[in-house]
Structure 1
Amino acid sequence: MKNWIFLLLASCMSLAQAGLFNDDELLPVEEAFPFSAQIEGDHIRAVWQVSDGYYLYKSKIHFTTDSTGILLGTPELPAGKVKNDEFFGEIETYRHQVVVNIPLTRATGSADTLELKVNSQGCADIGVCYPPQTQIASLLLTNAIPPNPASKQPAALKSLNDLGMSLGFGGQDELLPADEAFQPDLLISDANTLTANWLIADGYYLYRHKFEFSLDDGNGVTLLPATFPEGKHKTDEIFGDIEAYYHKVSATLPLQRTSREQTPITLTLKYQGCADRGVCYPPMSRTFELILPALAADAELAVVSPAETLNDVDRFAQALSKGSLLSVVIAALGFGLLLAFTACMYPMIPILSSIIVGQGEKATVARSLLLSLIYVEALAITFAVIGAIVGSFSGAIGIQALFQKPIFLIPFSVLFVALALSMFGFFALQLPAGLQSRLSNISNRQRGGTFIGVFIMGSLSALIIGPCGGPILIAALGYAASAGPVNGAIAMFALGNGMGLPLLLVGASGGKLLPKAGDWMNVVKAVAGVILLAVAISFLSRMPHIFSPMLIMLMWAVLLIISGIFMGALEPLPIESTGWRKFWKGTGLVILLYGTAVLAGGLSGAHDVTNPLHGSKLLAASSPAGGVSMTAVGGTHRAAKSFTRIKTVDDLHNAIAAANTAGKPVMLDFYADWCTYCIQYEQYVFPVPSVQQALSDYVLLQADVTAVDADDKALMKNVGVVLPPAILFFDRHGKEQRAFRVVGNMKAPAFADHVNRASGR
């Protein structure tokens, strides 16, 4: 009677206090304490999802039923949090989620529907308590709980029991059903943490290494690695030395969330256990549906969505590492074919074409195809050697980058200029007479002289042109580093052959399409010469500290203007001109005008031959309004006001630590003068206002690895970068957001969107 008086007083005072608050400050009772119940095997699972700022009294929870032939056992109430209540003294309360299991027994002829009457009472932290609540849950029992509990054992467990009986473990020693031997439960500890509990019957244990957790419907929630207490070490007949848990075990499951709202999730627990008598149960699973409470306003959200956990490089490397060797070869061939159509691979086509054109009347289909095959295999073999070296030493980065140094690029460019002048007929490239006579005798017996030259050209092309192969090439090198020298060499060899497939088509058609003699042959050689000069200029453009961007633009302008003039752009057309003659003159005029635009752009600050007026002072509108100014530092195009240069690993760590202290994220850009895509980022991505806006909260770092010296190699190895371009993002705690790493080219709008997603916007 005394308790009822206290309860009445508490309710009356609570209702009186409620008048001091607005209606919208208190949730309706059904929203503050949403309740659900379901039948699970031989018990009822009752669940309350308690809203933030509210709690339930443990002592006020009761279950009864008037359904015919149904008996309820003692509810298994979890331990609550002890609270000093102003009305009831020290009591236990529940927050967030309450799960109660109620044993259930059915008699023969019992009702098919259970009317479960549930009593409860709760309060709000503001000091207002709700009146006691009574809820009725109608639960269908048909085919859910057979009267004979033994009949609900699955066939696998029945077989285990039969085995136990045959071994003499009858009567009281029968194996328990799995749900009785191992009773799982899942509770919400807080908005970012779940706790999985198992009650383990005496004489039974669970394997630690057999626990698995998966989100079937995460709704933006990511499950992080679970933590377990130390188990008991034992020698298992099946698995050897293992850790096992007896009596009970709890696993902590941390969560990452992308939303602060209440979030429903579906989580599956998988586990396996045995009885000490030597009988093991098959793997078991249990699925739970929960509603995570809302996050606090100051809680940090995850910015990596479950669908985007790997960047392009990691995704390709993972695809290689998971398959058999045959699947690796097939995948590498396919990705090599994709790589063949990237812009930095295009110079290989004119190089090979000029070789075929140089054969003159000897350029039959068979010979052209053979030369192409030698060129492609030289490229592939060079890649294979690189793959073997990387697979052997893991740190052999910068092999191709070494060939971007002036000591290699300048002689190679001079060679192309000499070949071009030879195509124009200024002189004939040939060996001294004595050596030529000797080699001629050898050549009569074998045709290796020409083939060796083509092989060398293919190998050099792989080293000089290959480094701008983007994420696919970098991922292949990453796979080689982890797969060992043999598999690494095979994968890189397949990648090189995939890159060379279009070149084989060029060779197969070269003998048919190219003229064999006459004036047209001279025209074709002249075109090949122009292409070789263009390739030479593109190599020189990789050394802006020696050949300034303006000088490179002037070289392009001279090449284009002279080519247009030679095509007759300034010559009058005869009255009886053919259609081809008019087309030739028109093409020359277009090239002449474009060359003039390149000349004007180069003299006024533009740096890109493919967009000759971008950045030109002639067009004020092309300057990055509202962005950073781009200035030439050491002959290269730089975002001087935005990026802080770093050189060493210590520089990186210090810069990230300083940014973390200031509460700022970090973006690290790897740049090199010889990196085509790096220059495109400098000119067309970083200065764009939308990109600048997206990067406004970031500390911007840039590592210039043009020299590929010891510090550059150490820095790239420290963060797992093989070659530039590579752009890395670090969060406010200094941890890299690996899923947002950018390798290869990306346009400004896509990059701005990428940065916004990395920062959680």
Structure 2
Amino acid sequence: MAATPRTFSNRQWAKLPGGFLAGLVVALTPLAVPAQGGSGSADKVSVSHQLSVDRARAGETFGATVIVNVVTGWHVQAAQPSFDYLVPTRLTLDPLPGIRVSAVEYPAAKMIEFAGERLAVYDGIVALRFSVTLSSGVAPGPRALKGSLTIQACDNKVCLAPATVAVAIPFSANGGSASGGEVAGAMAPAGPTVAESLDSTTGAAPFAASPGNEIERLFGERGILLTLLAIFFIGLALNLTPCVYPMLSVTVSIFGAQSDARAAKVFWKAVLYVLGIATMYSALGTMAALTGGMFGGLMQSSWVLLIIALLLAALALSMFGLYEIRLPAALMNRLGGATATGFLGIYLSGLVVGVFAAPCIGPPIIALLALVGAKGSPWFGFGSFFVLALGLGAPYLVLGTFSGLLKRLPKSGAWLIWVRKIFGVVLLGVAFFYAALGFFPGLLRWTPIVTLAVGGIYLGFLERSGNDRRIFRRIKWLLGAAAVASAVALLILEPRTALEWQSYRPESLAAAKAAQQPVVLDFYADWCIPCHELERRTFSDPEVQRALRGHARFKVDLTSMEAPESQELMKAFNVQGVPTVVFLDKNGRERPGTRVLGYLPPTEFLKIADL
């Protein structure tokens, strides 16, 4: 029978001497291995490689990187471990005739506290770099650098048996093309952030949790209740991002047009509406995490956007009294009459609006996607995203209730008809926005202009309800004129000078690297609302433009996300959502800690990007 390592509480660990504990962990390694179901240190890492050039010629020197990806929750000992009896991470390369290999450059160790001792370890993605020089007389043809990587994996309870992993790095000499884990022609930065070179044998989900996953750390340190509370507030904070703009207008329109003004009934309809949003958002988030798709990828389809636009347009026309949207009488009777169908309709509306929120991303969303993907549990994923979506939907509970109570205002007959038509104009504007987003992105700037101008003229001067009341008629004129004036102002105001970008091409990126020029890559999609906000508000800011002036700037179009080239780029640069902005240094490596996820205003963008 396999022995199981005993697990000590934190208090029991603290009573033992640190050096003794560290030695004890290593001594118990033979016992720990069977407890892990026969797995060893090799099962806790994946190893791949990357070359800095797509071909090597005689007499040339090129860079090589062995990339070690350590499973989340585990670490390996550093190249210079804290104690002599710990097994260091060591890359050994076999000699090859005509090939000279430099000493391996190991990264700086991460210091962790364990049993009162500070231990030097590596976790997450570890890059071991060295250079390779071909002699002037090397014969042309394929070559392979071979060697071995020695590692020992530990977590906060056990250490596994040390393992030696075989390493093979194929390349071609004298004009041949490189192969293996290399990303040809500078497709990806020569750094540890390239995801496609990670070995698939780990069995990890497509979105492996990152070593710095704050959500995972919260679950471990604060427990499930406090972490779920934190996730709720993260969802609440999503309401500060541009992706919720369509949700705001649609929510006000739906509830403002409700026929029932009783407070209790309006409130429970708002609750069902938020539950509909949460259900859809949770389903989309869980599917994205478990399948490796992009969160919000559903919005990449122009036809999905067109369907949304048509649904909104149909709802808008009902606001003008052209028809009433009702279920068939037989179905209404089965569901319990108009009251039940009213509640069902509100829930279905929430499901549709939940799709609008899918493009909302940011570091916490990426962290949650990573954690759900690593755990591989649909129930954990749906529950976590459901709590996040409840936070996202909380303001709509208030907004929906308030909008639904507008009918309780005094003398609401003519006022009610006019307000209902305002909501119809708003919904038509949102429908126009989604149609343009799917088919004519260049027309997006015209959405607010056309909506304000047409809506102002119609509602202020052409619509006849309440015109027999002099004060109400003048209010309509005033608001209509204000809307038209706003449209004119938007039309004549000069937009700030746009930042110039090049379309991404591998050869352009390679040229920038050869010129020792820093690079910024903007991953975007036409259907992504925050991408347009980032372009319109952040990249047009003079300070941001000044900071990016010395960079080679490339736009990476992921509009057709399922296209093979998009999938390859997403994998190469570890892009999990749009917008994502990646900064590379002069050597083509991603600058740590500078990746921008989601929309950020100029000041925050400059701070995160460290510009």
Task: Decide which of 285, 298, 314 is 1:402's aligned counterpart.
Answer: 298
Tell me the equivalent position of 1:464: 356
Please give the per-residue CA displacement for 1:523-553, whole angstroms capped at 9, x wherever unaligned: 221121122112212222323xx3253x455
TM-score (norm 1): 0.50
Structure 1 residues 316, 696: CA separation in 2 closer, same or farther (over 3 Å shift)? farther
Counterpart check, 1:678 vs 2:531 = yes
The aligned runs of 1:128-207 (5 Å cut-off) are 207=23
The aligned runs of 1:617-632 (5 Å cut-off) are 622-623=496-497
Structure 1 residues 676, 520: CA separation in 2 closer, same or farther (over 3 Å shift)? same
Structure 1 residues 481, 576: CA separation in 2 closer, same or farther (over 3 Å shift)? closer
The alignment partner of 1:702 has SS state of strand
The alignment partner of 1:738 has SS state of coil
Gaps of 5+ in 1: 1-158, 161-177, 183-203, 211-223, 234-241, 245-251, 257-267, 273-310, 602-612, 616-621, 629-638
Counterpart check, 1:737 vs 2:596 = no
The alignment partner of 2:79 has SS state of coil
Structure 1 residues 472, 542: CA separation in 2 closer, same or farther (over 3 Å shift)? farther
**Counterpart Cα distance in 2 of 1:747 and 1:531:** 26
Which residue identity does 2:551 align to in structure 1?
Answer: Y
Please give the per-residue CA displacement for 1:321-354, whole angstroms capped at 9, x wherever unaligned: 6542222211111111111243321322332333
User: How far is 1:446 from its partner?
Assistant: 8.1
User: How far is 1:479 from its partner?
Assistant: 2.8
Please give the per-residue CA displacement for 1:223-279, whole angstroms capped at 9, x wherever unaligned: x9852379887xxxxxxxx769xxxxxxx99769xxxxxxxxxxx97489xxxxxxx
Tell me the equivalent position of 1:691: 544
User: How far is 1:672 from its partner?
Assistant: 0.8
User: How far is 1:704 from its partner?
Assistant: 0.6
Structure 1 residues 659, 207: CA separation in 2 closer, same or farther (over 3 Å shift)? farther
Tell me the equivalent position of 2:380: 487
User: How far is 1:377 from its partner?
Assistant: 1.1
- Root-mean-square deviation (CA), in Å? 4.2
Please give the per-residue CA displacement for 1:491-540, whole angstroms capped at 9, x wherever unaligned: 10100111111111133334533248622221221121122112212222
Tell me the equivalent position of 2:256: 357
Tell me the equivalent position of 1:643: 502
User: How far is 1:474 from its partner?
Assistant: 3.2
Q: In 2, are the aligned partners of 1:225 and 1:254 still within 8 Å (CA)?
A: no
Task: Decide which of 338, 342, 347 is 2:237's aligned counterpart.
Answer: 338
Which residue identity does 1:709 align to in structure 2?
Answer: E
The alignment partner of 1:518 has SS state of helix
**Counterpart Cα distance in 1 of 2:295 and 2:361:** 14
Tell me the equivalent position of 1:538: 433
The alignment partner of 1:359 has SS state of coil
Tell me the equivalent position of 2:402: 509
Tell me the equivalent position of 1:227: 79
The aligned runs of 1:264-303 (5 Å cut-off) are 270=118
Which residue identity does 2:350 align to in structure 1?
Answer: G
Q: In 2, are the aligned partners of 1:368 and 1:510 still within 8 Å (CA)?
A: no
Counterpart check, 1:378 vs 2:271 = no
Which residue identity does 1:488 align to in structure 2?
Answer: G
Q: In 2, are the aligned partners of 1:729 and 1:736 still within 8 Å (CA)?
A: yes
Counterpart check, 1:614 vs 2:513 = no
Q: In 1, are the aligned partners of 2:523 and 2:580 still within 8 Å (CA)?
A: yes
Counterpart check, 1:326 vs 2:180 = no
Task: Decide which of 340, 344, 365 is 1:452's aligned counterpart.
Answer: 344
The alignment partner of 2:316 has SS state of helix
Q: How many residues are matched?
A: 432
**Counterpart Cα distance in 1 of 2:118 and 2:216:** 29
Q: In 2, are the aligned partners of 1:567 and 1:588 still within 8 Å (CA)?
A: yes
Task: Decide which of 721, 728, 743 is 2:582's aligned counterpart.
Answer: 728
**Counterpart Cα distance in 2 of 1:477 and 1:723:** 10
The alignment partner of 1:466 has SS state of coil
Tell me the equivalent position of 1:713: 567
The alignment partner of 1:542 has SS state of helix
Structure 1 residues 243, 597: CA separation in 2 closer, same or farther (over 3 Å shift)? closer
Please give the per-residue CA displacement for 1:453-508, whole angstroms capped at 9, x wherever unaligned: 33332222222333134444333323322233232222101001111111111333
The alignment partner of 2:296 has SS state of helix
Q: In 2, are the aligned partners of 1:400 and 1:467 still within 8 Å (CA)?
A: yes
Tell me the equivalent position of 2:286: 388
Q: In 1, are the aligned partners of 2:422 and 2:459 still within 8 Å (CA)?
A: no
**Counterpart Cα distance in 1 of 2:570 and 2:240:** 27
Structure 1 residues 681, 643: CA separation in 2 closer, same or farther (over 3 Å shift)? farther
Counterpart check, 1:703 vs 2:556 = yes
The alignment partner of 1:407 has SS state of helix
**Counterpart Cα distance in 1 of 2:416 and 2:242:** 28
**Counterpart Cα distance in 1 of 2:77 and 2:513:** 25
The alignment partner of 1:429 has SS state of coil
**Counterpart Cα distance in 2 of 1:255 and 1:469:** 31
Tell me the equivalent position of 2:309: 413
Structure 1 residues 675, 464: CA separation in 2 closer, same or farther (over 3 Å shift)? same
Structure 1 residues 447, 205: CA separation in 2 closer, same or farther (over 3 Å shift)? closer
Structure 1 residues 457, 469: CA separation in 2 closer, same or farther (over 3 Å shift)? farther
Task: Decide which of 511, 514, 518 is 1:665's aligned counterpart.
Answer: 518
Gaps of 5+ in 2: 1-14, 27-75, 89-104, 110-115, 121-209
Structure 1 residues 733, 319: CA separation in 2 closer, same or farther (over 3 Å shift)? farther
**Counterpart Cα distance in 1 of 2:247 and 2:312:** 12
Q: In 1, are the aligned partners of 2:426 and 2:451 still within 8 Å (CA)?
A: no
Identity of aligned pairs, percent? 28
The alignment partner of 1:346 has SS state of helix
Q: In 1, are the aligned partners of 2:309 and 2:435 still within 8 Å (CA)?
A: yes
User: How far is 1:722 from its partner?
Assistant: 1.7
* Higher RCO (CA 8 Å, separation ≥ 6 residues): 2
